[in-house]
Amino acid sequence: MAAKIKKKHFGYLYRALLFMGAVAYILYLFPREGKFRYEYQKGRTWQHSTLYAPFDFPVMKSQRELTAEKDTLLKNHHPYYKVSLKETEDIEKQIDKRFDLEWQQYDLQENKEQSYLDVVNKLVDDTYSQGVISYSDFNQLQIDGQEAVVVIGEDFAKTISIFDLQTSKMAYEKIMNAVAKIDSLPRFSEFVTSLDLNQYLASNLDFDKELTTKSREELLDKVSLSSGLVRAGDPIVDRGQRIDDQVFKVLESFRTAYESRLGSSEKRDIIILGQGIIITVLLTTFYTFLFFYRIDIFNNNRDITFIVFNILIFITITALLRRFTSLSLYLIPFAILPVVLRTFFDSRTAIFANVITILLASFFAGNSFEFILLEITVGMAAAFSLKELYNRGQLFRASIIVFLSYCLIYLGLALVQEGSFSQLVLEYKHFLYFVLNGLLMLFAYPLIYIYEKVFGYLSDVTLMELSDTNHPLLRRLSEKAPGTFQHSIMVSNLAQEAAIRIEANPLLARVGALYHDIGKSVQSVYFTENQTGHISPHSSLEPEESAKIVIDHVKEGVKLANKYGLPKMITDFILTHHGLGKTKFFMIQEAKAHPDKEIDEHKYMYPGPNPFTKETAILMMADSVEAASRSLEEYTDESINNLVEKIVQNQLDEGFFKFAPITFLEIEKVKETFKEKLKNIYHTRIAYPKEALESKKDKQNKTNSTDEK
């Protein structure tokens, strides 16, 4: 008892810490600037009362205006190049050295040597005075569309047209053209050609990145960020006025200034306090809903952790998208949240969690009203479109419904605000966002699979796969224990119908029933439904040994379930279908055989535990009723009614359903369902007098089928 109380207190503490952690985390993600109280969109009308400026604020230029103005200024900005004097001197020295070598090989007038040298040096100097640039730099200037460069020397700075610049190849061609025109010196052209000047000519202009960047930044700093000033008391926008580009620019400037003032250090703490109150109230509302209407989820730490975790995931994605990108929030597939939660829980829980998430995420949206209206409506449509997720096709259908819901709600909202279709053409990108959002919905399928593995949940998709009789375990059961397999099929039909009647999970009940007796495939001949003769193999065994074999089918079933990777929720059906019941038939045999011996009841008791869900409780009843119905001497309304009443009442008296969340009214509905189904099954097998007499003769050779299970 003390351990139970301690566990309960730990649960309360854990949920409290989870609550506080979620509040703190969401508060950390929330934007720190204040929230502008008005909502508007370019191209639509101003829905609020006339807005007057409460303080002076500058009208900021749009990004397009700033970009255009900067581009205009940068067209007149030229890159800077420095003249490399050392490079020029080195080139001249190399040419002089080559001149001396070549002069000795030519038979020219010795007194003319200096004249030849002076002309060559002048041609080279004239070329380098204009500047020689590398081919790669020259090519880049053309690509960038530059018209000129600024050349910086030791004592000068001049702007040179790009057309006056030359590469080393162009410089060589220019020198040789000039040489060809000189005829005052004999064999001058031949001599200069022998100098092979092209191998010495190199660029003497080096790009000055630092100076170019500094000059560019100084030029851009001159660009004014504002294009005017709105004085306090001036009207910003009138009610019903269309928000054109200019009005939108003024409103954006006012919003920026307003939120900047709210985000100042002296008001930041107040803003954080307000955000904390809102987050706390919203999460408290969600906790309250779970406490009053979904207490089973509230008391389950795994379930409430899973739901809060998913809420935090979507808030995190929203915060990251808003903080680090300029993409629309409509790209976030919020509808995945209700789809995932609906897969593992119910529609009301899924929709309520989605509403809380959207309300929290709206603080990151520019137009909160539009965002909330769209996302909540689409979330409800997604949740209702997937009442039961059995295959991928249903998810594809849900994604189409999500897309259509987005489009219809957005269309209706636009028509209400604009009164025409013309503006919708300009906002086509929103419909592209809706298409992408619908496609992202398909990621819910792998996400559900991941959640199943991480959190141990069981979706309808997995249940449908497990219900296939071609599953290896069910094939094994049908081959090794055909009677048990048929029994399991019958029990699954009964359990499914009963689950539908009391609004439990019919698919879970059906699958649990199919696998509950898989342990009988290990020693199938020891169970009545698999015996073909009139002599039971138990007749040669001691009661205690027989009881062990029968009880072990539960343990063997769990081993097989683990070996084949069955989910824990299905294994629970194997463990609980007999609960902590006893093999009374063998206990009685033991008592008759050894009347003076004290019987150890634990040797005749199943390992349990007792059923703890509606579905496992239904299976226990269905299993016993179906097995006992096979031993009825005659099938009449009265015999079937008495059988069902007796078996279920015995289970109630034993306290098997004490910890199962099933009411007496629901048990009555389950019994009525069993009676109806059994009557339908056996309506063609009414025992005639002759058959009744024969059945009495065979009765002695029959074992109690219920106990042998």
Domain boundaries, the chain: 74-219, 264-455, 486-708
pLDDT tens string 599-627: 888 888 999 899 999 999 999 999 999 99
Average pLDDT over residues 265-288: 87
Average pLDDT over residues 551-562: 94
Average pLDDT, the chain: 84
pLDDT tens string 627-677: 999 888 888 889 999 999 999 999 999 999 999 999 999 999 999 999 999
What pLDDT score does 6 carry?
Answer: 61
Residue pair 451/457 in contact (Cβ under 8 Å)? The answer is yes
The region of weakest confidence among 131-135, 345-349, 454-458, 566-570 is 131-135
What pLDDT score does 557 carry?
Answer: 94
Q: Please name which of 182, 196, 179, 87 lies closest in space to residue 131, comparing C-alpha atoms.
A: 87
Average pLDDT over residues 582-608: 83
Q: What's the chain's length in residues? A: 709
Average pLDDT over residues 481-496: 94
The C-alpha atoms of residue 237 and residue 416 are separated, in whole angstroms, by 20
Architecture of domain 486-708: Orthogonal Bundle (1.10)
CB within 8 Å of 65: residues ≥ 6 apart:
227
Average pLDDT over residues 352-371: 91
pLDDT tens string 305-324: 999 999 999 999 999 998 88
What pLDDT score does 624 carry?
Answer: 94
pLDDT at 8 over 90: no
The half-sphere exposure of 657 on its side-chain side, counting CA atoms within 13 A, is 20
A 10 A CB-CB count for 495 gives 33
pLDDT at 465 over 50: yes
Rounded to 10 deg, the angle between the 506-515 and 614-629 helix axes is: 50
Identical fold, 264-455 and 486-708: no
A 10 A CB-CB count for 618 gives 35
The C-alpha atoms of residue 526 and residue 484 are separated, in whole angstroms, by 11
The C-alpha atoms of residue 112 and residue 528 are separated, in whole angstroms, by 131
Backbone dihedral angles phi then psi of residue 192, each to the nearest 5 degrees: -65, -35
CATH of 264-455, one of 1.10.3300, 1.10.3090, 1.10.10, 1.10.1760: 1.10.1760
